Amino acid sequence: MLSSLRPIVAFVAVFLVSATAAFAQTDPLPSWNDGPTKQAIVDFVTRVTEPESGDYVPIKDRIATFDNDGTLWLEQPMYTQLAFALDRVKELAPEHPEWKDQQPFKAVLEGDMKTLAASGEKGIAQLVAATHAGMTPEQFQTIVGDWLATAKDKRFERGYSKLVYQPMLELLSYLRDKGFTTYIVSGGGIEFVRNLSEPVYGIPPAQVVGSSIKTQYEVVDGVPTVMRLAELNFIDDKEGKPIGITEHIGQRPIAAFGNSDGDYQMLDWTTAGKGPRLGLIVHHTDAEREYAYDSDSSVGHLDKALDAAPDKGWIVVDMKNDWKEIFPPQE
Amino acid sequence: MLSSLRPIVAFVAVFLVSATAAFAQTDPLPSWNDGPTKQAIVDFVTRVTEPESGDYVPIKDRIATFDNDGTLWLEQPMYTQLAFALDRVKELAPEHPEWKDQQPFKAVLEGDMKTLAASGEKGIAQLVAATHAGMTPEQFQTIVGDWLATAKDKRFERGYSKLVYQPMLELLSYLRDKGFTTYIVSGGGIEFVRNLSEPVYGIPPAQVVGSSIKTQYEVVDGVPTVMRLAELNFIDDKEGKPIGITEHIGQRPIAAFGNSDGDYQMLDWTTAGKGPRLGLIVHHTDAEREYAYDSDSSVGHLDKALDAAPDKGWIVVDMKNDWKEIFPPQE
């Protein structure tokens, strides 16, 4: 009689294997450890996408906004855009012999980060003017693209576009699969971020909101040209994030993702809206695999938003415990 | 022998009927008369979408920008947004008894368009401050939506959202079917146009570029709020159009559609790009079915762009002869 059970056993075995495989295939967030953080994300997405949930949100209103530095990619030991500006100063230095004696360029060329930091907003403005202006957006894109193709982070010995967070890449895809439109809302320069948004995050240039310098339309030798000027236009940080979202997207998001106090207002405004809302903070707690920092760091300073999270109902990702992987696998 | 041919004749007849029906069904621009204008549009779209054409453009670069007033909907005898502002002043007048003696409000209340026009930019700024500011974008959307639902154009006795150009609605759909992303780039207010862009044109709020007033982020009684201020932020007209496109879209369009000199720079910058480009001007030549105007009109002033069209290779739509229908059918 036992032998007559064999086909049934085989069937059950095949069924179990298939079911496991199917489950593994359909876990949309494989780099997230199972637990309350992952569950809260999946619960929110399920609630807003299931018509019978009572919290259903139509596709046109499924707007999700992501900070970039420290939320989607590495921001330590310095913002990647600052690393770009410093490298660019070094590259342009032969054309500017006067920089040897002129701050903040002298400090950059001598690697004197303390003096550079002391140059403050004025110094940063001079760096931006020298490295980001006086060209068309297309020319700037070429310069940034060439730099990103070769520049490497010293600690991880990888290009910056490989130092993006694998769990967040999965989250972006998961949300888009569920009908969300995903936006980057970055304190960084809008044109800088646009260089990588599509190939790295699958986010087209038009879905990037960021800080910007002014541009001017000119006809140069009969050629219509947009020129980047050495003049600040908009700071997309803190109060600027809800303003930038209003201007660019024209809708309040239902989900917002950040990692620092610069994201506080975006998180607060997003989650204060009616209906189901999701606010999430990436807390850098993993000195071994990445970095551990919050209220003591000037880059990615996280204090007020972390304190407010429990009351506001924002999810706090504990990078060390919630993330199975930090970066995409090495190729 | 003849009877044996019958099945073949029947087959051929059925084939011809089917083929005709299929052709009728697939004409993407039924409200455009056959002729060189329609042919030039179809030729361009065919060239950029057929992989073997040599002029193929990948989907991510198929960006098309449309002016709104006079290009997608009626702009005579006055811009619809101005009609809104005038109606709004009348509605708010009981709360502002001082307006009876105060310009430009006095002129609006007395229907004195000459004095209103003489109040110039300062007068318009006061109208905008009184009717467009001091509220959240959501509150403004409600006010505009309520007005659009009931206000009617006097000549055509139809609501403004029914006074859109049927041939242009077909063109928008045709381009989207062919993988284009369609944007509105309007001199009008971005939030005003966003009210109708999705239901009327199928264009989501984030794909609207326009003029704007400043907004401010405030926490009012603990509620995070974006407030519209009585201060100009950006004029999306003339040189402003390439600037607004750069800021919002981050890519140069491959096709641009306008109807006035306010669109000149957008058309010029768009068609000056490398590869296949399309520039198109809607020329209002139909006083009987709509209006006939160009260089003599202050609303929709068309002079320089019309003169430049032949040299620049821009298509000029002769509304009277190229369009079979002007507006969507009456319901």
Taking an 8 Å cut-off on Cβ atoms, the answer to whether A217 and B204 are in contact is: no
Taking an 8 Å cut-off on Cβ atoms, the answer to whether B224 and A212 are in contact is: no
Taking the C-alpha atoms of residue B330 and residue A125, their distance in angstroms, rounded to an integer, is: 57
Which range, of A6-15, B181-190, B257-266, averages the lowest pLDDT? A6-15
Determine the average pLDDT of the residues in B277-296.
98
When CB atoms are compared, the residue of A205, A225, A246 closest to B215 is A246
Residue scoring higher pLDDT (A43 or A26): A43
Does A48 have pLDDT greater than 90? yes
- Which pLDDT does position B170 carry in this prediction? 98
Question: Between the CA atoms of B138, B139, B145 and B151, what dihedral angle is there, to the nearest 10 degrees?
Answer: -160
Determine the average pLDDT of the residues in B78-100.
96
Does B154 have pLDDT greater than 50? yes
Determine the average pLDDT of the residues in A59-66.
98
Contacts of B137 in chain A (CB under 8 A): 246, 250
- Residue B51 is given by DSSP the state G
Q: Does B190 touch chain A (CB under 8 A)?
A: yes
Residue scoring higher pLDDT (B124 or B265): B265
Strand A208-220 and strand A181-189: pairing? parallel
How big is the A-B interface in CB pairs under 8 Å?
Answer: 89
- pLDDT tens across A114-124, in order? 999 899 889 98
When CB atoms are compared, the residue of B198, B242, B251 closest to A217 is B242
Picking from B60, B191, B243, B247 by the largest number of A CB atoms within 10 A of its own CB, the best residue to mutate is B247
Taking an 8 Å cut-off on Cβ atoms, the answer to whether A269 and B226 are in contact is: yes
- Which pLDDT does position A331 carry in this prediction? 76
Contacts of A208 in chain B (CB under 8 A): 250
- pLDDT tens across B27-60, in order? 999 999 999 999 999 999 999 999 999 999 999 9
- Which pLDDT does position B26 carry in this prediction? 84
- Residue B323 is given by DSSP the state B
- Which pLDDT does position A160 carry in this prediction? 97
- pLDDT tens across B8-22, in order? 555 555 555 555 555
- Residue B157 is given by DSSP the state T
- Which pLDDT does position A279 carry in this prediction? 98
- Which pLDDT does position B124 carry in this prediction? 87
Determine the average pLDDT of the residues in B304-315.
98
Residues A329 and A321 sit within 8 Å (Cβ to Cβ): no
- Which pLDDT does position A1 carry in this prediction? 45
Residues A303 and A294 sit within 8 Å (Cβ to Cβ): yes
Q: Does A242 touch chain B (CB under 8 A)?
A: yes
Q: Does B207 touch chain A (CB under 8 A)?
A: yes
Q: What is B201-222 written as a DSSP string? A: IS--GGGEEEEEEEEEEEEETT
Does A12 have pLDDT greater than 60? no
Taking an 8 Å cut-off on Cβ atoms, the answer to whether B242 and A249 are in contact is: no
Determine the average pLDDT of the residues in B153-170.
97
- Which pLDDT does position B20 carry in this prediction? 52
CA distance A48 to chain B (A): 20
- pLDDT tens across A67-97, in order? 999 999 999 999 999 999 999 999 999 999 9
When CB atoms are compared, the residue of A205, A251, A265 closest to B250 is A205
Does B109 have pLDDT greater than 90? yes
- Predicted ipTM of the assembly: 0.91
- Which pLDDT does position B330 carry in this prediction? 87
Q: In this structure, which long-range contacts are made by residues B309-313, counting pairs with CB atoms below 8 Å and at least 24 apart in sequence?
A: B309/B279, B309/B281, B312/B267, B312/B268, B312/B271, B312/B279, B313/B271, B313/B279
Name the one residue in this structure whose structure tokens are 């069924």: A15
Determine the average pLDDT of the residues in B290-305.
96
Does B223 have pLDDT greater than 90? yes
Q: Does A268 touch chain B (CB under 8 A)?
A: yes
Instruction: Give me the percent of chain A exceeding a pLDDT of 70.
Output: 92
Determine the average pLDDT of the residues in B307-316.
98
- Which pLDDT does position B12 carry in this prediction? 55
Q: Which of A132, A98, A130, A104 is nearest to A117 (CA)?
A: A104
Q: Does B181 touch chain A (CB under 8 A)?
A: yes
Taking an 8 Å cut-off on Cβ atoms, the answer to whether B272 and A223 are in contact is: yes
Return residues 32-71 of A near B (CB < 8 Å).
60
Q: Does A181 touch chain B (CB under 8 A)?
A: yes
Determine the average pLDDT of the residues in A251-273.
98
Taking an 8 Å cut-off on Cβ atoms, the answer to whether A217 and B181 are in contact is: no
CA distance B165 to chain A (A): 25
Q: What is the mean pLDDT of chain B?
A: 93
Taking an 8 Å cut-off on Cβ atoms, the answer to whether B194 and A250 are in contact is: yes
Q: Does A139 touch chain B (CB under 8 A)?
A: no
Does A20 have pLDDT greater than 90? no
Picking from B181, B246, B249, B271 by the largest number of A CB atoms within 10 A of its own CB, the best residue to mutate is B246
Rg (CA), chain A: 23
Give Cβ neighbours of residue A200 (< 8 Å, ≥ 6 apart): A73, A161, A164
